């Protein structure tokens, strides 16, 4: 529903123009007129007041109304009124708030109206308007001149309408520039917000990958150690004590890793693994009772901290998958090759007819995807393959030795 209170400024403008027009009509001396001109002048004032009131909300209708009033005024020979200078309000409104066709029509209307005033309006109409406005001396002087003064009057009229039209056009472009600037600022704010959301989502994904790697590896090792304890002789308390000690050590190590992951995430810094070399991961798996055949080719090189984290987490996830999906009585092969990039390969046996969900990288596996994301983030890559002869699963990661 339209709130008519928004029309209050427009109504006020129309009423002011109407009041000025009525005062001007009341000042007209009808003694020299054959018929009373006031009815026709009142219609003119009403039309101009209505047009001025509609200039902001309906500039096209206001412009059309001005042309209707002007046309009837020329045809009927109705005297011009000084209050008709309020048509400048319509010129301003058309340029400021009108559509593109309305703007074009308004700017063309100004010279067309001036030409009509020079060619078709009787000079006595001008004289009467000047006389009514109190400029009797100017009216007497112009009545004794030739028609060239009408050209000057037309030029002056064009200026009276052209100035508010140009002002309206300038404000129109200024408003559009402000809107464009505001739109650009809003777009930049949305972009910053989207980047912040993406950054937070990436942090959440990174946290999820870190917790998955740490907890998944420790639980796999603890589970393997617990299962191995079932096969110890009842009277071998020393072996049982060693197994329980290994389980406690794995749990403490996992808890410390999780604490460091959460602490580094809360502080907004890059997640760092504990300062432990890759050999410690291999030894941890061996302590769980699995046989691990580890080989290293080439000369090891120190890695930057962020690459050290990637290599540690990737090997951790590879060993976790090997423990979870490989048979306990088969060895896990771990190879590290320092040939340009660090190539880490972990190979474990799998059951010949194992479903896809029961091997690393199968359906629903998140570890392989996490490893791939980690490696791709630093310029590395991952390759996972399952071979049938013999039934094995191989995961190979290439980690650059320098940050890229």
**Residue 376: CATH number of its domain:** 3.30.565.10
Final residue before a domain boundary, out of 119, 145, 171: 145
Residues 102 and 247 in one domain: no
Q: What is the largest CA-CA distance in the chain?
A: 139
Q: Do 107 and 252 share a domain, yes or no?
A: no
Number of residues written out for the chain: 404
Are residues 71 and 196 located together in one domain of the fold? no
**Paired tokens of 23:** 């005062």
- Is 316 inside any structural domain? yes
Task: Judge if 291 and 391 occupy the same domain.
Answer: yes
Q: Tell whether 16 and 104 lie within a shared domain.
A: yes
Is residue 172 a part of any domain in this protein? no
Structure-token pair, residue 263: 């602490």
Among the candidates 145, 176, 208, a domain finishes at 145
Q: How far apart are CA 249 and CA 259, in angstroms?
A: 15
Q: Looking at residue 21, what is its pLDDT?
A: 92
* One domain for residues 246 and 392: yes
Residues 123 and 197 in one domain: no
Q: Mean pLDDT, consecutive 10-residue segments, the chain of 404 residues?
A: 76 94 84 74 93 94 94 83 90 94 93 79 57 48 52 72 92 91 89 84 75 73 73 76 76 74 58 59 81 90 86 88 84 90 91 56 62 89 87 92 74
> What's this model's pTM, rounded to 2 decimal places?
0.51
Nearest Cα to 44, choosing from 13, 85, 9, 11?
Answer: 85
pLDDT of residue 363: 42
141 and 216 in a single domain? The answer is no
> Which of 129, 124, 112, 12 lies closest to 66 in space, CA to CA?
112
Reduced to 3 DSSP states, what percent helix, strand and coil does the chain have, rounded to the nearest 5? 65, 10, 25
What was the pLDDT predicted at 216?
73
In a domain, 174, yes or no: no
Tell whether 123 and 205 lie within a shared domain.
no
Considering the domain boundaries, does residue 27 fall inside one? yes
pLDDT of 391: 87
Task: Report yes or no on 178 lying in a domain.
Answer: no
Tell me, what DSSP letter sits at residue 299? -
Choose one of 89, 122, 145: the last residue of a domain.
145
Instruction: Kindly state whether residue 171 falls inside one of the protein's structural domains.
Output: no
Q: Are 361 and 396 in contact (CB under 8 A)?
A: no
Residue 24 · residue 79 · CB < 8 Å? no
Q: Is 364 left (phi over 0), alpha (psi -120 to 50) or beta?
A: left
Both 262 and 328 in one domain: the answer is yes
- Asked if 378 and 244 sit in the same domain, the reply is yes
- The answer to whether residues 104 and 91 touch, using CB atoms and an 8 Å cutoff, is no
Do residues 390 and 271 both lie within one domain? Answer: yes
Do 85 and 160 meet the contact criterion of CB atoms below 8 Å apart?
yes
- Which structural domain, as residue segments, surrounds residue 20? 4-145
Is 341 strand, coil or helix? strand
Predicted local distance difference test score (pLDDT) of residue 57: 92
Residue 357 is predicted with a pLDDT of 47
pLDDT of 63: 95
Strand ranges (E), 63-147: none
Number of independent structural domains in the chain: 2
Q: How far apart are CA 64 and CA 44, in angstroms?
A: 14
Residue 168 placed within a domain: no
- Work out whether strand 341-349 and strand 332-339 pair parallel, antiparallel, or are unpaired: antiparallel
């Amino acid at each position: 529903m339209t709130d008519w209170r928004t029309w209050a400024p427009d109504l006020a403008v129309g009423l002011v123009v109407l009041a000025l027009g009525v005062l001007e009509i009341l000042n007209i001396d009808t003694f020299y007129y054959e018929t009373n001109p006031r009815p026709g002048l009142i219609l003119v004032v009403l039309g101009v007041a209505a047009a001025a009131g509609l200039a902001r909300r309906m500039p096209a209708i206001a412009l059309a109304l001005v042309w209707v009033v002007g046309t009837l005024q020329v045809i009927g020979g109705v005297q011009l009124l000084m209050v008709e200078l309020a048509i400048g309000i319509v010129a301003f409104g058309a340029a400021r708030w009108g559509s593109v066709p309305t703007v074009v029509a308004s700017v063309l209307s100004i010279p067309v109206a001036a030409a009509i005033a020079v060619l078709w309006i009787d000079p006595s109409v001008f004289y009467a308007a000047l006389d009514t406005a109190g400029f009797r001396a100017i009216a007497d002087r112009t009545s004794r001149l030739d028609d060239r003064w009408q050209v000057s009057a037309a030029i002056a009229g064009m200026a009276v309408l052209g100035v508010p039209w140009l002002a309206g056009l300038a404000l129109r472009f200024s408003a559009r520039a402000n809107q464009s600037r505001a739109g650009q600022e809003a777009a930049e704010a949305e972009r910053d917000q989207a980047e912040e959301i993406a950054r937070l989502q990436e942090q959440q994904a990174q946290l999820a990958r870190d917790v998955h790697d740490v907890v998944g590896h420790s639980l796999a090792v603890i589970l393997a150690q617990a299962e191995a304890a079932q096969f110890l002789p009842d009277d071998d308390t020393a072996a049982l004590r060693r197994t329980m000690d290994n389980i406690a050590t794995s749990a403490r190590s996992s808890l410390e890793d999780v604490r460091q992951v959460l602490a580094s995430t809360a502080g907004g810094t890059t997640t760092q693994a504990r300062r432990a070399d890759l050999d410690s991961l291999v030894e941890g798996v061996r302590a769980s009772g699995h046989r691990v055949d580890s080989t290293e080719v080439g000369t090891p090189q120190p890695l930057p901290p962020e690459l050290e984290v990637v290599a540690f987490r990737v090997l951790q996830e590879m060993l976790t998958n090997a423990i979870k999906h490989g048979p306990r009585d088969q060895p896990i092969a771990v190879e590290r090759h320092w040939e340009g990039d660090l190539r880490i390969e972990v190979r474990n046996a799998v059951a010949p007819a194992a479903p896809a969900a029961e091997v690393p990288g199968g359906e629903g596996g998140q570890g392989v995807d996490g490893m791939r994301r980690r490696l791709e983030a630093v310029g590395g890559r991952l390759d996972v393959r399952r071979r049938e002869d013999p039934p094995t699963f191989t995961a190979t990661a290439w980690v650059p030795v320098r940050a890229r």
